[in-house]
Amino acid sequence: AGEMAAARAAGRLVLALPLDAVDPAHLVRDRLGAEEEALAELMASLLAHGQRAPIEVAETGPGRYGLISGWRRLTALSRLRAETGEERFSTVLALVRRPESAAAAYVAMVEENELRLGLSYYERARIAARAVDLGVFPTERAALQTLFAAASRARRSKIGSFLALVRAFDAVLRFPAAIPERLGLRLAQLIETDPAAAAALAADLAARPAPDAAAELARLTRAVSGPAKTAPEPPREIRPGLFLQATPAGLALSGPALDPDFRERLEAWLREGR
């Protein structure tokens, strides 16, 4: 009995908990959603073999638990219970953890997701921002250093850049987890160097939500690409040895016929306004 109590206290004892006893919203989730294909595969595995890996929870009250990690497994089990009505999907295998603090609980969640199915840069930045907003960490710097302590300094710097995207666009983006690293860094630069353009982009996304991830990425890419560049007009020969070319600055003359005598006569003609 003592060993059992000690194992439970240390979070080494796997328990079968009622599905409804686990609150999936105990922490602000780092993952923005689950791909339906991946979730369907997980449901098929659970249907065929049952749950193999336990989720992690924290006890929040008598018979009540808050989810720390395992959101996809909990979601899949809930769907299977609703679809099949089978009693075996009314419980979930779980390890009851006792994190020392809210910060430790967030670290456990992030680490579990990084190991099982890596987060996007946006999702990493978003959980850091939300943890700061909830008072779990005093600053964004502290959140980055604690949540992603195992990451390289360069990776933490990139996550920090994506924090700017979360602050500027989180309310208007529909598919932010699809933003690739390079595009995200360019958007962060836009936010820093041209706040007016970033605000205009946010307003446009709010007014005209993208129908899918591809359309949203295309609009974000256009925002950081600038106006399309046209190929310069080739010079054309207007008289033997003299070429004229249109440039962004105006008209340009070139060629062997552009000798000092020609230049002097041209300047005199321009001064007279003929």
Please write the tens of the pLDDT for every residue from 37-53: 778 888 999 998 899 88
Structure tokens at 211: 């129908």
Looking at residue 206, what is its pLDDT?
93
Q: What is the pLDDT of residues 196-252, one digit of tens each?
A: 999 999 999 999 999 999 999 999 999 998 654 556 678 888 888 888 888 777 888
Spatial strand order of the sheet with 22-23 comes to 14-18, 91-97, 55-61, 64-69, 22-23
Length in residues, the chain: 274
Looking at residue 271, what is its pLDDT?
81
Looking at residue 31, what is its pLDDT?
53
For residue 192, count other CB atoms closer than 10 A to its CB: 11
Task: Report how far residue 138's alpha carbon sits from residue 83's, in angstroms, rounded to the nearest whole number.
Answer: 43
Q: Which residues is 254 bridged to in the sheet?
A: 243
Looking at residue 252, what is its pLDDT?
87
Q: What is the pLDDT of residues 127-140, one digit of tens each?
A: 889 888 878 889 99
The overall longest dimension of the chain from CA atoms, in Å, is 109
